[in-house]
A = this chain, B = another copy of it.
Amino acid sequence: MLQSDLFTKTLKEAPKDEQAISAQLLQRAGFVDKLMAGVYSFLPLGLRVLKKIENIIREEMNGAGGQEILLPVLQPKEIWQRTGRWQDFDALYKLKGRDGKEMALGPTHEEVVVNLAKNFIDSYKDLPFYLYQIQTKFRDEFRVKSGLLRNREFLMKDLYSFHVSQEDLDKFYENMKKIYQRLFKRCGLESLIVEASGGTFSKYSHEFQVLSETGEDLIFHCSCGFARNKEIADLKEGDPCPECGKKIKLSQSIEVGNIFKLGNKYSEPFDLSYKDEKGEKKLVIMGCYGIGLGRIMGAIAEIHHDKNGIIWPESVSPFDAHLISILPKDGKSKNKVEEISKKLYYTLFKKERDGAGYEVLYDNRADVSAGEKLVEADLLGIPWRIVVSEKTVASGKIEIKRREQKTVKLIKPSEVYKIIKF
């Protein structure tokens, strides 16, 4: 894409109302825009990142046997009363339609999905199945801070699993732990599986936490793999690890996902049941599995940055390469730099047109100085930076650099494919 056409604008100063570095950088670099506390717009660059995260999640959920659906935001009061959560769900947004009917804005979808599943289950033969959606959630959070890390309106992937037995749930649940860690790794995040508050049907639920000083969570963790949320841990820093005896650490972290064994918590109030092989009626056993898409994006920016800007992992970067034309004033040299840049852009990097190459952002702007262009490129954080200037053109070469490295290489244009590999 031509940068002259891109709807974006970078800011030299960080917005004053944002404390988290990720929120400052994502707004300065023009990825998101704040409409009000806890509510953000995604601009073209930010939406590209969000769609890449979404596609990684979709691939992993389809791979796990999940089937994608789309459930409504507007939900009738009655189904929330059935589970007692019309009163008990603290952050529930409520509203009333002109017909006088009260509704909730979905903060999660157990009530809706169980109500739906009732029409699809008769016998044990109809189980198991796994439904997921990628849908906006709404929570009237008491405090919102940290940019995309805690919002009132946010995109979430929520999968619900339906089983005949606890054993079948346990098997699927353990598999999802592995899938979740791989998914976060694909997004550039190393996650810890952290024991958290369980419920009636399981001693623990599990959170996927990414260590970060901006995180709102506090977790005890050990190099042996043990990790437990401070909220439920009867431990203090330096205590022996309950698993291996080594000294335990306490760290701040960002929760990017969580999984719960629901058992029959929701199937009971809705009488979601099946007939087993003997024809006996039994309640369906459920699990649920959430991931916050904006949280992933915020956590990536929180962890992958330096003082100059974001450093996107290749898998979620808005573009693969940032091609920067440094245009000299002299007409003839300028034409030559433009010619070489355009050729590079249109031939080597044509993924968007025919799937053969890379996604390239081409900084073709004539009225922006070289210094400004390079500062902006660091702020935007695309993994590969390619510079074409009077100097590189004189030697028949182009300059290439990884965002996180300082050393620049001079290569022939034809060598780009050998260097940028995904």
In the assembled complex, 14 residue pairs joining A and B whose CB atoms fall closer than 8 Å, in A order, are A9-B120, A33-B116, A35-B75, A35-B115, A41-B112, A41-B116, A44-B67, A47-B70, A74-B138, A95-B105, A97-B140, A97-B152, A98-B142, A105-B105
Q: How far is the CA of A115 from the CA of B35 in the complex (A)?
A: 9
Query: What are the residues of chain B within 8 A of A8 when measuring CB–CB?
Result: 120
Residue A235 at the chain B interface, CB threshold 8 Å: no
Shortest distance in angstroms between A338's beta carbon and chain B's nearest beta carbon?
Answer: 19
> B98, A140: Cβ atoms under 8 Å?
yes
Known contacts A95-B94, A97-B93; is-contact A36 B76 (Cβ 8 Å) = yes
Chain A 95-126 per-residue mask, 1 if CB under 8 angstroms from chain B, else 0: 10110010001000000100110011000000
Residue A411 at the chain B interface, CB threshold 8 Å: no
Query: What are the residues of chain B within 8 A of A41 when measuring CB–CB?
Result: 69-72, 112, 116
Q: How far is the CA of A224 from the CA of B69 in the complex (A)?
A: 43
Residue A233 at the chain B interface, CB threshold 8 Å: no
Task: Specify which of B44, B69, B153 is in contact with A43 (CB 8 Å cutoff).
Answer: B69
> B97, A95: Cβ atoms under 8 Å?
no
Chain A 117-161 per-residue mask, 1 if CB under 8 angstroms from chain B, else 0: 001100000000101000010101010000000001100000000
Known contacts A7-B120, A41-B112, A93-B97; is-contact A72 B142 (Cβ 8 Å) = no
Residue A416 at the chain B interface, CB threshold 8 Å: no
Query: What are the residues of chain B within 8 A of A105 when measuring CB–CB?
Result: 95, 105
Chain A 2-44 per-residue mask, 1 if CB under 8 angstroms from chain B, else 0: 0001111100000000000000000000000101100111111
Query: What are the residues of chain B within 8 A of A153 when measuring CB–CB?
Result: 72-74
Query: What are the residues of chain B within 8 A of A75 when measuring CB–CB?
Result: 35
Task: Specify which of B7, B35, B116 is in contact with A72 (CB 8 Å cutoff).
Answer: B35
Task: Specify which of B39, B76, B131, B152 is in contact with A35 (CB 8 Å cutoff).
Answer: B76
> B72, A40: Cβ atoms under 8 Å?
yes
Shortest distance in angstroms between A72's beta carbon and chain B's nearest beta carbon?
Answer: 5
Residue A170 at the chain B interface, CB threshold 8 Å: no
Q: Which of A44-100 contact B (CB under 8 A)?
A: 44, 47, 50, 65, 67-76, 93-95, 97-98
- Closest B residue to A33 by beta carbon equals B116
Query: What are the residues of chain B within 8 A of A138 when measuring CB–CB?
Result: 73-74
Shortest distance in angstroms between A163's beta carbon and chain B's nearest beta carbon?
Answer: 14
- Closest B residue to A144 by beta carbon equals B99
Query: What are the residues of chain B within 8 A of A142 when measuring CB–CB?
Result: 98
Q: How far is the CA of A36 from the CA of B6 in the complex (A)?
A: 41
- Closest B residue to A37 by beta carbon equals B99
Shortest distance in angstroms between A270's beta carbon and chain B's nearest beta carbon?
Answer: 14
Shortest distance in angstroms between A82's beta carbon and chain B's nearest beta carbon?
Answer: 14
7 smallest beta-carbon distances between A and B, as pairs: A95-B95, A42-B70, A44-B67, A39-B72, A7-B67, A74-B153, A41-B71
Shortest distance in angstroms between A24's beta carbon and chain B's nearest beta carbon?
Answer: 16
Question: What 13 new A-B contacts, CB under 8 Å, besides A7-B131, A33-B116, A39-B72?
Answer: A5-B65, A7-B67, A7-B120, A8-B120, A9-B119, A33-B119, A35-B75, A35-B115, A36-B101, A42-B70, A44-B67, A50-B70, A97-B152
